[in-house]
Structure 1
């Protein structure tokens, strides 16, 4: 991320950015019109067939109740540049003044890009809590064949973010835990940006508010994560679920943009070049990336143990095998490591220079340490209990 245009002697500004309105609630889909009508009255909803099959009738009923004109774009499931172009054409033809991405992060990313192209209002309606994409001001777009295309920075967050917790608790628990992993990474990555004085994705210095949200995400997930996970496994709604959904979606999204990110996401981006890793979700790969970042930082064993002990009850991966990379060859390790330190990667927001050899060492080191820890977990001298989660 380049710095803003400032005199050579000036420091980049501190910047905090967030959506103007965030609304989260059980059965919020039924009140869709209540919030959307503040933005406009001609709506295009970008949504895949699976999500529409579960909730489409309720969206139609809500739009009728609010006298909103509704257009639906059938989303393919891939946030591709082709989907953005097709959805833009559809929404323009419908003369929509509000674009809504409904479902997961990819539908939300397409909606943001469509809204930016049309210069109208855009909103997100999340039905899962595995990602902070509903809140963020950027879109991650791919080629139609699935290859990475670009990050689009929109310069603003969605005009409205909605999360229906009824939909979340009906979804797979794995989505919730992957979202926790991505949220917790904000704490570790933003801390490195603050130490380094690096720029955030906003092209500014990290704000204290952004850093505080990263710390809050860690605190919430370590204290309430298991409770939320076990409730969602029973399709139950509890205060812990409410807190973790907000953490995954809002605290994480605003925290990483206004606080910064660094090694863990760069490692994720390198790993996802390997098709074998596609069995793992974004947050799951980021979780292993955090452990590798801790190795890069030279953290003591007690810090590594604490992170592993946080991860295990939530079923989050701490080894290469758990993210589909068992027996990773030297050539593939090199491919991942070089990609993680590419010129535009967030690895360069660490407070020290990192090269490909260091990343390869951290990946191997993290995997070896986690395997050793797991093999002796019951008898490991000084292995921490979950007492730290009570403080």
Structure 2
């Protein structure tokens, strides 16, 4: 048996109004903050962040993120951080700006603080950045030396975001348990290069159980813009439990299928977690899960509004040629699908994609009668 490794953020802070405490939480990390975020995220948070930092005598430089976690944007922002002599990076917003900030901090060897304004992915807690091309096609994983120094989630801000973001986060988190268990069965190494601890595996399972129990309640609450105990649980499941679960137990088919679909431009308008949800169904088919387990996932997806068919992820014309290209991308060397407990070929993925689509279509037809 090899060594087991569990990694996690140094500090995790979550709750209503948490952003007001940002300065207090980072005062030991640096004296000048480089704050990056998209236009919406910055407009929502800038005044609160400014006051919180000023109260702790921390200076700052705000810069708008241009929307894609790609090499050119990482390098552009990195140069600004250097020229401004910043000594701590703060990423505010969703998954792509979070991954960009993490990459900048790794390249400059600076502390990184993550302030999600949505709970749409498990990116905030991880020591991993997903790098895309400028056109939004998956390029590579950038494995980082350490996890974020602080992850701070203001649940009041997250609850006021469109419910689709929280639901997308549930789709990303939905894969966590199934991929973690596949990696455990195959004795595959996790993201930091060790084997899963029992703790990480149990956190991945807890993530799934919270989604099934509280997902629909949480969606209904955030549609009204309010924070409830169910919303708090789902934000934690989407962010902390899924983050530790995937990273310290491993990824497998579901996320690789997502990465495969990024070659189809028609899927780019669909969120990461939405594609991962469909990838989870493909994963279950590929691994020959019992119908009861597949149906539980279908029930959950439909209740919260996650896609279960190809057309729902934007693929209206799934020609055999197109899906085979997705399957080939999914199975490229180095892709996480090779962590499955058996060898996987493009032909197997091709078959599983069409089978998952057929199951989802049949399920939707049945419940609409």
Specify the alignment match of 1:152 in structure 2.
142
Deviation (angstroms), 1:172:
0.6
2:298 matched to 1:308?
A: yes
Deviation (angstroms), 1:66:
1.2
Specify the alignment match of 1:275 in structure 2.
265
Contact 2:136/2:262 (CA < 8 Å) preserved in 1?
no
Contact 2:138/2:259 (CA < 8 Å) preserved in 1?
no
1:148 & 1:304 partners in 2: Cα distance? 28
2:249 & 2:64 partners in 1: Cα distance? 35
Specify the alignment match of 2:52 in structure 1.
62
* Match 1:186 to one of 176, 184, 189: 176
1:115 & 1:293 partners in 2: Cα distance? 33
- Listed as ranges, the matches of 1:201-280 within 5 Å are 201-280=191-270
- Listed as ranges, the matches of 1:32-71 within 5 Å are 32-71=22-61
Contact 1:209/1:258 (CA < 8 Å) preserved in 2?
no
* Match 1:170 to one of 143, 160, 163: 160
Q: Deviations over 1:298-356 (max 9, x none)?
A: 12222221111111110111111111112301110110111111111111100011111
Structure 1 residue ranges, 4+ long, deviating more than 6 angstroms after superposition: none
Deviation (angstroms), 1:150:
2.7
1:149 & 1:370 partners in 2: Cα distance? 29
1:372 & 1:47 partners in 2: Cα distance? 41
Specify the alignment match of 2:63 in structure 1.
73
1:29 & 1:268 partners in 2: Cα distance? 32
Change (3 A) 1:378 1:277: closer
Deviation (angstroms), 1:223:
0.5
Deviation (angstroms), 1:378:
6.8
Change (3 A) 1:305 1:144: closer
Specify the alignment match of 1:354 in structure 2.
344
Specify the alignment match of 1:389 in structure 2.
none
SS at match of 2:268: helix
Q: Deviations over 1:241-269 (max 9, x none)?
A: 11111110111111100011101111111
1:377 & 1:64 partners in 2: Cα distance? 55
TM-score normalised per structure 2 = 0.97
SS at match of 1:352: coil
* Match 1:365 to one of 355, 358, 365: 355
Q: Deviations over 1:138-185 (max 9, x none)?
A: 111223343434321112100111111111011010000110111121
2:284 matched to 1:289?
A: no
2:82 & 2:368 partners in 1: Cα distance? 61
Q: If you compute each CA radius of gyration, which structure gives the higher value, 1 or 2?
A: 1
1:378 & 1:126 partners in 2: Cα distance? 36
Specify the alignment match of 1:388 in structure 2.
none
TM-score normalised per structure 1 = 0.92
Unaligned runs of 5+ in 2: none
Deviation (angstroms), 1:114:
1.1
Q: Kindly tell me the number of residue pairs found equivalent between the two proteins.
A: 369
Q: Deviations over 1:271-296 (max 9, x none)?
A: 11101111211111111111111111
Specify the alignment match of 1:387 in structure 2.
none
SS at match of 1:151: strand
Q: CA RMSD in A?
A: 1.3
